[in-house]
Amino acid sequence: MMTTIEQTNKNRYFLYIMIVMKFGGSSVANAERIKHVASIIKAYKEKRPAVVLSAMGDTTDHLLEAADLAVTGKVDVAGVAKLHEDTAKELGINIDTIESLLNELKTLLTGISMLKEISKRSRDYLVSFGERMSVRMMAAYLKSEGIEAKFYDAWDVGFVSDSNYMSAELLDEVWDNIPKYLTEYKEGRDNAIPIVTGFIAKDKNGIITTLGRGGSDLTATMIGAAMKAEEVQTWKDVDGILTTDPRVVKEAKPVPEVTYEEAQELAMFGSQVLHPRSMLPVRKSGTPVRVKNSYNITSPGTLIVEKHAEKVPPVCAITSVKHVQLFDIVSTRMLGAAGFLAHIFNQFLKWSVSIDVISTSEVSVSCTVNTKKDLSGLVEDLARVADVKLRTGKAIVTVICDVAHSSAILASGFAALADEGINVQMISQGASKVNISVLVNEDECDKAVTILHKAYFD
């Protein structure tokens, strides 16, 4: 029989459980989706969720279009206003807070139309309206359904960043700030579910910033890490991370568990998982992340952790990136390896072009890039010390695996590709020891993924 002290400790343990739930723009794109997300939040109410939301649907794109129009002298917020007003009406909620933000948005666009230009700082202010309206609508709808909830702009729970507008980085003080605002909720002294804006923060001067790519994921993982949450859940439209893109291989199946490192590699090479930078807070704290399906909430999804709990699978997943360009660079001067490689990398740095995968020898380099930038200047600079060939129409296929078994993995994969007449043009094993990448022609990419999936998983 459980003693009073044991029961008290048990209750305290459950009382202090907390999870973080993040929903992207497609999950809250309209009234029907908002109602569905609200039902998911309600289902997890006992775990004391903190909820992070993106802007509704394509609102961010529409705000940027409104800015472009304002630069030409025309102010138009009708499209953004109609979406939010119609949604609020369908949800049956009061929209006073939304109307206030829409008036503020119109004032900002009027200023842009008078200046005929928009700065990075103004752009961040502009796109923040999407998330700010989204959380207000969700909180209002939850309250209308009898669920205590309160909206927060991210800076209201301690999100402070640098002033690198459009791609700001959070300051270290965020780790201490967030618990100051959310501990009362976690410990049960405040029962209003926090609905927090993703993607945005404020700098030390109180100016709104945006966190760049993966910003909403970063908001969620930062809250989860700082609050020592049980787990961070990111909700999508598939049953977690799959063995490959189901649009390419319909037999793709969910992966029960991956490591932080494997998830980062998947994201770097095309898989729509969490952005790599958003993994940094949870890696530091050891907080698990779970990728869940908003259309199938009973599915366990995929758990992202520091280390596999059981035996490491030889191959975890396969992903790919198309529209890749290949540089073949061979030295034309008697440069040592250090001097040659230093010059090559300096040119890529000069032109702000990131390399995806690379293979080198003492006087030659093959590397891939995935960019829409004009590369003619880079080619010209490289050509001063090397023969340069730039080839287009390539694709990277990446196998996330345990490279302790790399010989067997390569043998079976290459044999399967050879049998189907697909030639591998380059191979690279990442320093992380969890991926092997190969380069193929873009028009053979999906076929290569299908062949490898069959070889490894069937």
Per-residue pLDDT of the chain (458 residues; tens, 9 = 90+): 444 444 444 444 445 789 999 999 999 999 999 999 999 999 999 999 999 999 999 999 999 999 999 999 999 999 999 999 999 999 999 888 899 999 999 999 999 999 999 999 999 999 999 999 999 999 999 999 999 999 999 999 999 999 999 999 999 999 999 999 999 999 999 999 999 999 999 999 999 999 988 899 999 999 999 999 999 999 988 888 999 998 999 999 999 999 998 888 887 776 667 788 899 999 999 999 999 998 888 889 999 999 888 788 889 999 999 999 999 999 887 556 667 888 899 999 999 999 999 988 778 899 999 999 999 999 999 998 899 999 999 999 999 998 778 889 889 999 999 999 999 999 988 766 788 999 999 999 999 999 999 999 98
Strands (E), 252-301: 257-259, 289-293
Euclidean distance between CA atoms 157 and 286, whole angstroms: 22
CB-CB contact of 200 with 156 (8 Å) = no
Euclidean distance between CA atoms 80 and 57, whole angstroms: 11
Would you give the DSSP letter of residue 424? Answer: P
CB-CB contact of 98 with 134 (8 Å) = no
Euclidean distance between CA atoms 400 and 432, whole angstroms: 10
Euclidean distance between CA atoms 347 and 109, whole angstroms: 40
Strand bridging mode 289-293 / 302-305? antiparallel
Euclidean distance between CA atoms 155 and 22, whole angstroms: 17
Would you give the DSSP letter of residue 237? Answer: S
Euclidean distance between CA atoms 196 and 223, whole angstroms: 10
